[in-house]
Amino acid sequence: MAAVSQNFKTDLLASIPSLRAFAVSLTQNADKADDLVQETLVKAWDKHESFEPGTNLKAWLFTILRNEFYSQMRKRGREVQDSDGIMTARLAVHPAQHGQLDLKDFRSALEQLPEDQREAIILIGASGFSYEEAAEICGCAVGTIKSRVSRARTRLQEILKISGDDEFGPDAISAQVTGSNAA
């Protein structure tokens, strides 16, 4: 195995904040996320020769991280959530107070999304990837990513009771939040 170049190491270090953000988004747990990032870095180091310099390192690393996440879930016998079987039961009524959507509320809404929808909306709406890149990272068709993003957005709007581009949600008739424990 050829030695890992200093550049590669520097680039890995620089990618860690993004990797951690993506890992937290997937696992919804800070400790698990850091373990996942650690696994990802070790894997990336081992297979550094399969990275083509000049291509998108961040996308390459996100792919490794994501594969690691799903393979760990499978090992633990956890069924990977499929958004076609959305659990409507978990819908929490949570009106935005004074039209201001609290970040805590948003976090707990995000947590309720099936993994495939959550990762899609994070990759597209927050990590700055294109639909094509996100499709490559997730190993699926561009159309699949588009539909997951769209369903995720609709679902978040339902959970948070906000409509489209409307800054102010419906009147806050303080409905009790059920079963949402925002960490």
> Which stretches of the chain bind other proteins, using CB under 8 A?
1, 3-4, 9, 12-14, 16-18, 20-21, 24-25, 34, 37-38, 41-42, 45, 58, 101, 103, 106-107, 110, 121-122, 124-128, 149-150, 153, 156-157, 160, 162, 164-167
Rounded Cα gap, residues 111 and 114, in angstroms: 8
DSSP state of 5: P
Closer residue to other proteins, CB minimum distance, 54 or 164: 164
Closer residue to other proteins, CB minimum distance, 70 or 161: 161
Closer residue to other proteins, CB minimum distance, 74 or 166: 166
Alpha helices in the chain, H assignment, sequence order: 6-27, 30-46, 57-75, 103-111, 115-125, 131-138, 142-160
Q: Is the Cβ–Cβ distance between 66 and 119 less than 8 Å? A: yes
User: Minimum CB separation from other proteins for residue 39, in Å?
Assistant: 10
User: Minimum CB separation from other proteins for residue 178, in Å?
Assistant: 21
User: Minimum CB separation from other proteins for residue 79, in Å?
Assistant: 26
User: Minimum CB separation from other proteins for residue 77, in Å?
Assistant: 28
Using alpha carbons, list the distances in angstroms from residue 6 to 2, 12, 48, 50, 53.
12, 10, 12, 16, 13
Closer residue to other proteins, CB minimum distance, 74 or 128: 128
Tokens of 85: 């079987």
Closer residue to other proteins, CB minimum distance, 14 or 74: 14
Q: Is the Cβ–Cβ distance between 26 and 119 less than 8 Å? A: yes
User: Minimum CB separation from other proteins for residue 19, in Å?
Assistant: 9
Q: From the centroid of its chain, how far is CA 60? A: 16
Nearest residue to 24 via CA among 124, 118, 151: 118
